[in-house]
Chains A and B, each alone.
Chain A
Amino acid sequence: MSYFRATDPFPLESAEHTKLHEFYARLAVGRLATTRCATCRRLAWPPRAFCGECGSDRFDWVDLSGEGKIHAFTIQEVGLPAGFVGPRVFAIVKVDGLRVFSVLVDAEPAKVAIGQTVRLSPLRVADDPNGNARWLPAFRLA
């Protein structure tokens, strides 16, 4: 079945590719950040370079606590896209009042429950085509 080819599933995180590079730079050193609109002060998740509330494109970076609670979760056993393996724990995590979608790494499925405390655990994924390291904002049980 050589016809099938997967494309790169991860974002291009470097400064020349995204206005959100600062998010990934902080994530690489273990910090969870997001944007706050510089005009109306609205805190966003995920970070954004244009405010859908007031129309401003000025924003500041704000560090979040990196600790949250499981708001909802499901465990996918099979049927994941190429390159991802089950069982995989997908979760909505409440962090500083924001809802963050993520995965729980190294979690024993039977031990996951709503309300549990989780902590940011940056997940290193494949380097980008230019050899830059890439990270995703994953969590693990605290």
Chain B
Amino acid sequence: MRKVALIGAGVSKFGVRKASYRDLIWEAGKACFDAAPAVKPKDVEGLVVGSVMPERTAFQSHISSMAAEALGIRPSALSARTEHMCASGTVGIRYAYAFIAAGLADLVMVLGVEKLNQPSGDEAILNMGTGVDREWEASFGLTAPPCFALAAQCHIAEYGTTEEQLAMVGVKNHTHAAKNPNAHFQRGATLEQVLGSRMISSPLRLFMCSPITDGAAAVLIASEERARALTDKPVWIRGTGQALDGFQLTSLHEDYAHWPALARAAQSAYGMAGVRPQDVDVAEVHDCFAIAELIAYEELGFCPKGEAGAFVADGRSDYGGDVVVNPRGGLIGCGHPLGATGVAQAAEVFAQLRGEAGARQVPDASIGLTHNNSGMGEHVVMIYGRERR
């Protein structure tokens, strides 16, 4: 297979935006092309768009062609939309990676976009029910918060994880987001604020949850030859893995504190990249809820099973610790515009590995990891490197 690299990345402002679906595509596309000045839209051979619910929130399907036209891209090798719920963006990156590695394309944009507040967050909450099983789960009113709350209940019961430790994920990610001008939230948060925030689904409180957010992100992905011609600082895709335990809650591991599919996806990615968990300098993990970040530490191998609470409490997932997790502010601080999230994670790792992350820069970051999931049973892991290997 050919080597593949990111050569440009950009994100829109995330938040409750007074902007249309197409406005968000324009903003992310502009930011991405600005980061890769050697590339013009007409040079891009393919476009993959990760987007989950535009049929309802923008009353629009046929998304990839619409976005291509908006950005002046005329696909000659690849045009597709990926819908894989909250992991749609990273699933799109895997498509582009595979096409380029196989020699079917040389330069592809992956764009993630979601307009969720259209016109209110209620629309998004209703639509989130389409991400679980309509007949056996969503018919009861199930959406994401109770699923992850069940995982938190299990982790607390089994390992003695505390509400304070869950809250520390919220504090850390809100604090990181305060240094990210594109984040949904920019005010930071104290432990008292997180623990005093409204209960959403026990034991998860508001500041332990990602909000309903509009946003878009884009990356440009190229073959080695094209990457070297277009930039002197490519960020290499070193490894990738995807695995599934199940779709319905009752198909997953009986103990919701265990996510074996994440461990398997990580093993695939680490093996392909030739790196170990302790080699990772910066990780963007899928903290849709605080418990997800804690379980991710364990399944990604950053700490032993059951010790994630202490890992965050001791600062080991923050600047100066073992690995900086979610420097851009994560889903909790940046918001979670579903299809855009995985692409925004890649954009952050791109900036970090090029030393261009400004106030958020992780010193001398060389290996970066992204983790994107679609519920507790489906996980995608990417590993990026400053060196090609």
CB of B125 within 8 A of CB of A90, answer: no
Q: Given A90-B140, A99-B254, A101-B249, A75–B120 Cβ distance below 8 Å?
A: no
Digitize A69-96: 1 where CB-to-B-CB distance is under 8 Å, 0 elsewhere.
Answer: 0011111111111111000101010000
B132 to chain A, nearest CB (A): 9
Residue B245 at the chain A interface, CB threshold 8 Å = no
Indicate if the CB atoms of B143 and A9 lie closer than 8 Å: no
Asked whether, in the complex, the Cβ of A74 is within 8 Å of the Cβ of B249, the reply is no
**Is the CB–CB distance between A78 and B198 below 8 Å?**
yes
Measured between C-beta atoms, what is the minimum distance from A65 to chain B in Å?
17
Complex: how many Å from CA A4 to CA B145?
22
Other-chain contact of B250, A7, A45, A136 (Cβ < 8 Å):
A45
Docked-complex contact A101 and B140, CB < 8 angstroms: yes
Are B141 and A81 closer than 8 Å at their CB atoms? Answer: yes
B58 at the interface (CB under 8 A from A): no
Determine if A142 is an interface residue (Cβ-Cβ < 8 Å).
no
> Among the listed stretches B73-81, B173-181, B199-207, B368-376, which one makes contact with chain A, having 4 or more residues with CB under 8 Å of it?
B199-207
Min Cβ gap A57→B in Å is: 18
Bound complex: CA of A67 vs CA of B128, how far in Å?
Answer: 30
- Chain A residues, CB < 8 A from B134: 9, 11
**CB-based A-B contact count at 8 angstroms:** 103
Q: Are A82's CB and B200's CB within 8 A?
A: no
Q: Tell me if A4 and B122 are in contact (CB < 8 A).
A: yes
| A1 at the binding interface (Cβ < 8 Å) | yes
- CA gap between A75 and B202 in the complex, in Å: 6
What 7 A-B pairs come out closest when comparing CB atoms?
A: A84-B141, A74-B149, A76-B201, A99-B250, A11-B135, A90-B146, A81-B126
Residues in B neighbouring A76, C-beta threshold 8 A: 145-146, 149, 200-202
**Contact A72 to B150, CB < 8 A, known contacts A79-B145, A81-B129, A82-B125:** yes
Beta-carbon nearest neighbor of B140 in chain A: A103
A74 to B147, CA, bound (A): 8
Q: Is A49 an interface residue (CB 8 A)?
A: no
Q: How many Å from the CB of B282 to the closest CB on chain A?
A: 31
- Residue A6 is within 8 A (CB to CB) of chain B in the complex: yes
Assess the A92–B250 pair: CB atoms within 8 A: yes
A101 touches which one: B142, B153, B154 (CB < 8 A)? Answer: B142
Residues in B whose Cβ lies below 8 Å from that of A45: 250
User: What is the chain A residue whose CB lies nearest that of B204?
Assistant: A74
The CA of A91 and the CA of B199, in the complex, are separated in Å by 18
Query: A81 contacts which of B128, B135, B248, B249 (Cβ < 8 Å)?
Result: B128
